[in-house]
Amino acid sequence: MRLRTVMVTAAVTLLGGVAAVAVAAPAMAAGPTATFVKTSDWGSGWEGKYTISNGGTTTINGWTVAFDLPSGSSVSSFWDADMTRSGQRFSFTNKSWNGTLAPGGTASFGLIGAGAGAPANCTLNGASCGGGTDPGTQVPGTPGAPSVTGVTQTSISLAWGASSGTVTGYRVYEGSTLRATVTGTSATVSGLTANTTHTYTVAAYNSAGESARSAAVTGTTSGGTGPQVPGTPGNFRVTGTTGTSISLAWNASTGTVTGYRVYEGTTVRATVTGTTATIGSLGACQNHSYTIAAYNTAGESARSGAVSGTTTGCSTGPLPAHFLTGYWHNFVNPAVELRLRDTPAAYDLIAVAFAESTATPGAVTFAVDSGLSAALGGYSDADFRADIATLHSRGKKVILSVGGEAGRVAVNDAASATNFSNSMFNLISSYGFDGVDIDLENGLNPTFMGQALRNLRSRVGANLIITMAPQTIDMQNPTVSYFKLALDIRDILTVVHTQFYNSGSMLGCDQSFAYSQGTVNFMTALACIQLEAGLRPDQVSLGLPAGPGAAGGGVVSPSLVNQALDCLARGTNCGSFRPPRTYPGIRGAMTWSINWDVSNGNQFANTVDPHLATLP
């Protein structure tokens, strides 16, 4: 993506990091090994990482890792390697920059798997991957046939035989729907209706994946002459927000209903007889999560899934309510070279790419690139500083982006966090930058990067702009490092510009489809993940390439960006995916890059910027 070389491929990420969760390198073995770990598993899919280690005495010049996936499983996206496929055999070959491994060296690549299977029969350059038992053989055995051990009017209790192998827990399914997750060999599925029949299967799982399903067992709840516990309310949703309240609605429960209770955690926030409620007396710009349950004289239903809402009144800081961000190149590539002051007026926030690491862990530095200076006929640091002042006089903001393809900034402990904060503070003070953009391609530690950013803000002040530019894979799950950092610092975070490109197909917030990049569905369904998992709408922006040459995949017409913004802000111009609610505060759009946009006739800025002014 954002490479300083001419060739760009869809497997390389423009701004974001490598694998989302750091995995320790395996112990040194005799010869090369390739070890696998699932960094996340959501039942219908998983995220994994392979680490190739050279435990031998000679340099490896190129590697290929191959493995089998069971029928029904596939690879939906991958990074830091090139993939080929023959049937259910998947082969991953190194990129140009990570294929040479000196003795003791490591490299890694990541992938998203669709389906519950796990890699098996792994080979590294034609030989066994080594590094212990093949991960594919670690999936637990199938649980023993389940039996029904008890029923009530609202529940069915089950028991089954333990699986062989290492078992983390068991999942009870009704059809394809997960009904219970337990660590033992029994479970009770509750919230059922009297005199109804249900069929269940059981699967064991561990970090390597999920076993085959058990034989099925069928049970029927008992009947009763009195009222039964109501069914769970459906389609629980946020219907509106103000600076002091969040309004909720849901579909009526089945059965006899006396009323509904709205919970925040374990606390009842409202009790109503209808299918709407408004929770008031809240503070401005606060996020709250609620569940709903129906009740009658027989008891209370199972709770609904949680929904989150944020009250209005969030400060937009020193930037407009909706704004356009662009990255400016401090290097030479096939796009046009620009002096900073020549940035088109449509851009509100300019991210200078990039600050880079020093010999001091965590510390960063910046200077005008010598190649860029020569290409512009002489462009000095003094010229650059003057250009920042010029942009400030036009009402623009300029931030320094940390990382990029060549960046190797690592903030992994308290000392490096302090070094990062000190060096960024010095650069902000020296050049007049308005903030910092986190764009680390080698992953990050959310604890210490969060510590560094909070320390920096305490020194610069409340107007410090903090942005992030993760790749799509980094924002699929709130537990992944980039997403966790965003949530950890959301009280001081300005905006996240996720790159909706160079990623292949990805799951959206409905977890139903792998949406194809380059579509309105892709942008809206993936933005929805962030919006429903805790980020405020004013902290979410859509990042897209500026046009041909800017990325290897996911290039879209700027008019599609406008459609995605309309879908999220107003509920209009959506594709087949429709978000569960509207987000009028959606912040705007970002593009890689200003230079590429100018090369393509400013089509991105000229199309998207005027549209931002029309958003609510």
Query: Residue 332 pLDDT more than 50?
Result: yes
User: If residue 179 lies in a helix (H) or strand (E), which one and from where to where?
Assistant: strand 177-182
- Read off φ and ψ for residue 450, nearest 5 degrees: -60, -40
Tokens 């041909």 belong to 548
pLDDT at 224 (0 to 100): 63
DSSP state, residue 137: G
pLDDT at 223 (0 to 100): 74
Which CATH number does the domain housing residue 401 bear?
3.20.20.80
Domain stop point among 195, 221, 247: 221
Which CATH number does the domain housing residue 168 bear?
2.60.40.10
Q: pLDDT per residue over 477-519, tens digit each?
A: 888 889 999 999 998 999 999 999 998 889 999 888 889 999 9
What distances in angstroms separate CA 581 from CA 125, 528, 578, one per listed residue? 49, 9, 8
Query: Residue 567 pLDDT more than 90?
Result: yes
Residue type, 364: V
Question: Do 375 and 434 fall into the same domain?
Answer: yes
Domain stop point among 311, 346, 372: 311
SS3 165: coil
pLDDT at 46 (0 to 100): 78
What distances in angstroms separate CA 121 from CA 63, 65, 113, 167, 222, one per listed residue? 16, 10, 16, 21, 48
List Cβ neighbours of 267 (8 Å cut-off, separation of 6 or more).
none
What distances in angstroms separate CA 450 from CA 1, 409, 438, 455, 490, one per listed residue? 26, 14, 11, 9, 10
pLDDT at 142 (0 to 100): 87
Mean pLDDT is lowest, of 145-159, 374-388, 443-457, for 145-159
Residue 135 domain-assigned (yes or no): no
User: If residue 201 lies in a helix (H) or strand (E), which one and from where to where?
Assistant: strand 197-206
Q: pLDDT per residue over 178-224, tens digit each?
A: 899 999 999 999 999 888 889 999 988 877 678 888 988 888 888 76
Q: What is the mean pLDDT of residues 334-356?
A: 96
Query: Residue 424 pLDDT more than 50?
Result: yes
Q: pLDDT per residue over 396-423, tens digit each?
A: 999 999 986 555 788 999 999 999 999 9
Which of 145-154, 183-192, 193-202, 428-437 has the highest mean predicted lDDT (pLDDT)? 428-437
Spell out the SS3 assignment of 409-444.
CCCCCHHHHHHHHHHHHHHHHHHCCCEEEEECCCCC
Question: Do 89 and 177 fall into the same domain?
Answer: no
Tokens 């750091």 belong to 22
Its pTM stands at 0.61
Which CATH number does the domain housing residue 113 bear?
2.60.40.290
Query: Residue 17 pLDDT more than 60?
Result: no
Question: Do 149 and 276 fall into the same domain?
Answer: no
Question: Do 335 and 450 fall into the same domain?
Answer: yes
Question: Do 597 and 544 fall into the same domain?
Answer: yes
Confidence category of residue 10, pLDDT binned at 50, 70, 90:
very low
Q: How far is CA 393 from the centre of its chain?
A: 36
Confidence category of residue 305, pLDDT binned at 50, 70, 90:
confident
Range of the domain at 268: 234-311
Which of 1-5, 39-43, 266-270 has the highest mean predicted lDDT (pLDDT)? 266-270
Q: What is the mean pLDDT of residues 81-90?
A: 86
pLDDT at 22 (0 to 100): 34
Query: Residue 6 pLDDT more than 50?
Result: no
- Read off φ and ψ for residue 54, nearest 5 degrees: -95, 95
Residue 513 domain-assigned (yes or no): yes
Residue 83 domain-assigned (yes or no): yes
Q: Higher pLDDT residue, 455 or 504?
A: 455
- Read off φ and ψ for residue 469, nearest 5 degrees: -135, 65
Query: Residue 443 pLDDT more than 80?
Result: no
On whether the CB atoms of residues 231 and 251 are closer than 8 A, the answer is: no
Residue 11 domain-assigned (yes or no): no
pLDDT at 134 (0 to 100): 40
Residue type, 450: G
Residue type, 343: T
Buried b (16+ CB within 10 A) or exposed e, 584-614: bbbbbbbbbbbbbbbbbebebbebbbebbee
Query: Residue 3 pLDDT more than 50?
Result: no
Spell out the SS3 assignment of 337-401.
CCCHHHCCCCCCEEEEEEEEECCCCCCEECCCCHHHHHHCCCCCHHHHHHHHHHHHHCCCEEEEE
Residue 229 domain-assigned (yes or no): no
Domain stop point among 160, 194, 221: 221
Question: Do 550 and 404 fall into the same domain?
Answer: yes
Residue 372's closest CA among 349, 340, 396, 401?
A: 340
Question: Do 348 and 253 fall into the same domain?
Answer: no
Please report, to the nearest 10 degrees, the dihedral formed by the alpha carbons of residues 169, 172, 177, 178 taken in order.
Answer: -40
Confidence category of residue 135, pLDDT binned at 50, 70, 90:
very low
pLDDT at 306 (0 to 100): 84
Confidence category of residue 226, pLDDT binned at 50, 70, 90:
low
Q: d(Cα 428, Cα 262) in Å, to the nearest integer?
A: 47
Mean pLDDT is lowest, of 131-135, 224-228, 536-540, for 131-135
Q: d(Cα 550, Cα 6) in Å, to the nearest integer?
A: 10
What share of the chain in percent tops pLDDT 70? 91
Q: Higher pLDDT residue, 98 or 350?
A: 350
pLDDT at 4 (0 to 100): 36
Q: d(Cα 416, Cα 449) in Å, to the nearest integer?
A: 9
Q: What is the mean pLDDT of residues 317-339?
A: 94
On whether the CB atoms of residues 204 and 143 are closer than 8 A, the answer is: yes
What distances in angstroms separate CA 47 from CA 10, 90, 285, 381, 528, one per listed residue? 18, 15, 33, 43, 19
pLDDT at 405 (0 to 100): 58
Helix 446-460 vs helix 481-488: crossing angle, to nearest 10: 30
Q: d(Cα 568, Cα 561) in Å, to the nearest integer?
A: 11
On whether the CB atoms of residues 587 and 323 are closer than 8 A, the answer is: yes
Please report, to the nearest 10 degrees, the dihedral formed by the alpha carbons of residues 18, 597, 535, 408 taken in order.
Answer: 30
DSSP state, residue 597: H
Question: Do 469 and 513 fall into the same domain?
Answer: yes
Strand ranges (E), 425-580? 435-439, 465-468, 495-499, 506-507, 514-515, 540-545
SS3 569: helix
Question: Do 499 and 399 fall into the same domain?
Answer: yes
Residue type, 199: T
pLDDT at 26 (0 to 100): 36
Q: pLDDT per residue over 581-600, tens digit each?
A: 889 899 999 999 999 999 99
Q: d(Cα 405, Cα 17) in Å, to the nearest integer?
A: 9
Residue 71 domain-assigned (yes or no): yes
Query: Residue 74 pLDDT more than 50?
Result: yes
Mean pLDDT of the chain: 87
Question: Do 456 and 589 fall into the same domain?
Answer: yes
What share of the chain in percent tops pLDDT 90? 53
Question: Do 57 and 110 fall into the same domain?
Answer: yes
Tokens 């530095």 belong to 365
Helix 446-460 vs helix 414-431: crossing angle, to nearest 10: 40
Residue 318 domain-assigned (yes or no): no
Q: pLDDT per residue over 356-396, tens digit each?
A: 889 999 999 999 999 999 999 999 999 999 999 999 999 99
The structural domain count of the chain equals 4
Residue 217's closest CA among 192, 187, 191, 195?
A: 187
Q: d(Cα 602, Cα 438) in Å, to the nearest integer?
A: 25
Mean pLDDT is lowest, of 84-93, 114-123, 222-231, for 222-231
DSSP state, residue 136: G
pLDDT at 314 (0 to 100): 74
What distances in angstroms separate CA 110 from CA 105, 285, 355, 425, one per listed residue? 17, 36, 26, 34
On whether the CB atoms of residues 383 and 339 are closer than 8 A, the answer is: yes
Confidence category of residue 30, pLDDT binned at 50, 70, 90:
low
Question: Do 304 and 334 fall into the same domain?
Answer: no
**What positions carry a catalytic annotation?**
441
User: If residue 607 lies in a helix (H) or strand (E), which one and from where to where?
Assistant: helix 603-612
Q: Higher pLDDT residue, 240 or 291?
A: 291
pLDDT at 78 (0 to 100): 83
On whether the CB atoms of residues 399 and 465 are closer than 8 A, the answer is: yes
Q: What is the mean pLDDT of residues 310-328?
A: 87
SS3 189: strand
